[in-house]
Amino acid sequence: MNVHPAALHRNKIPVFLTLLSVILIAGFVFFFYTTPGTRIGPEQPIPFSHRVHAGVKDIQCAYCHPYVRYSRHPGLPPVEKCLHCHNHIIRNHHWIQKEHAYFSTRTPIPWKKANVLPEHVLFNHQRHIQKDIACKECHGLVETADRITGKIFLMEFCITCHRQKNANVDCWLSCHG
Ligand code: HEC
Ligand code: HEC
Ligand code: HEC
Ligand code: HEC
């Protein structure tokens, strides 16, 4: 190869720019995945998949979160509910064995919370579900996710929809306890 020295020198600029963009992209990816609410979602004690259950197998949200319509808390399914199916379905799978271990020691499965709502905020599922607001308006397409990403619910998010739907925006009275 016969490269002119001037050409070599000119090549430094693209090399520098490439390096710079690699560093910027790596930095972006790092912050994206380490910022709570945007990362992949917490690793759970059993890799329960909403995609498999609510998506592929089309099990209704309310089957596992039965109180979402009637109470402030949607509820997470107790291990008995998992075993209702898994005493029959893939019963020898090692994750199902782990369900049995929780069940027989009467230990609730220590699910990690993905969603964050600041503590002083009063949020009530009931009021929203009864107005026919779909789960996905706030939680996204849970049925396509293996792991729930969750998010940090900021006031802006609540207010934007409340304005659009003419709901109460007097938040200091209704949302902040
Ligand atoms: C077969 C049972 C089952 C079904 C069906 C199901 N879920 Fe879940 N859900 C769970 C379990 C178990 C957890 C806790 C583990 C986790 O976060 O993955 C959970 C967690 C969640 C969370 C996250 C809670 C948090 O803050 O950490 C949301 C939101 C949720 N489900 C919404 C839905 C929606 C919406 C549907 C219907 C599209 C649905 N679920 C269907 C069992 C179920
Ligand atoms: C209504 C029935 C039903 C309930 C309730 C249910 N499952 Fe499942 N689960 C299934 C079916 C169906 C499959 C798919 C089995 C297959 O692939 O052949 C499955 C698959 C799985 C798998 C295999 C891994 C994977 O993602 O494919 C795990 C782990 C699992 N379930 C955990 C749970 C846990 C934990 C609960 C309780 C929170 C639960 N399941 C509740 C029906 C159920
Ligand atoms: C108007 C917005 C909104 C809608 C609509 C909504 N949610 Fe939620 N959901 C939230 C917020 C905010 C939280 C976090 C609240 C908390 O942690 O107390 C949450 C938390 C949850 C949790 C976790 C509860 C826990 O105890 O950890 C589950 C499960 C859940 N939602 C299921 C559902 C299902 C199923 C639907 C649809 C039937 C639904 N949500 C509709 C806003 C919403
Ligand atoms: C997708 C739209 C939507 C989002 C997002 C939403 N809301 Fe609402 N919210 C409504 C609607 C519509 C009502 C009116 C329900 C009714 O009239 O009973 C309501 C009612 C309420 C009420 C009862 C108000 C009253 O009159 O006493 C509270 C409290 C509330 N929301 C808090 C929140 C909080 C906190 C958040 C954010 C975490 C939130 N909402 C996010 C649509 C939404």
Residues 84-116 have pLDDT tens digits of: 999 999 999 999 999 999 999 999 999 998 888
Alpha-carbon gap, residue 72 to 174, rounded angstroms: 14
pLDDT of 34 reads 57
Whether the CB-CB separation of 47 and 95 falls below 8 Å is answered with yes
Q: What is the mean pLDDT of the chain?
A: 86
137-143 own/partner pairs: CB under 8 Å, 24+ apart = 137/161, 139/115, 142/50, 142/54, 142/61, 143/50, 143/51, 143/54, 143/55
Mutate-to-test residue for ligand 4 from 126, 128, 166, highest number of ligand atoms within 8 A of CB: 128
Average pLDDT for residues 118-129, to the nearest whole number? Answer: 86
pLDDT of 142 reads 93
Sign for the pseudo-dihedral over CA of 162, 69, 43, 109: positive
Tell me, using a 6 A CB cutoff, whether residue 44 lines ligand 4: no
CA 149 centroid distance within chain: 2
Q: How confident is the model at residue 79 (pLDDT cuts 50, 70, 90)?
A: very high
Least distant ligand from the CA of 163: 4
pLDDT at 81 > cutoff 90: yes
Mutate-to-test residue for ligand 1 from 63, 67, 76, 103, highest number of ligand atoms within 8 A of CB: 76
Question: Dmax over Cα atoms in the chain, in whole Å?
Answer: 78
Look at the chain and count its residues: 177
Give CA torsion, residues 109, 141, 53, 124, to 10 deg: 50
Alpha-carbon gap, residue 113 to 155, rounded angstroms: 19
Query: How far is the first Cα of the chain from the last one, in angstroms, to the nearest whole number?
Result: 74
- Cα→Cα distances 124→112, 133, 157, 177, Å: 20, 12, 15, 12
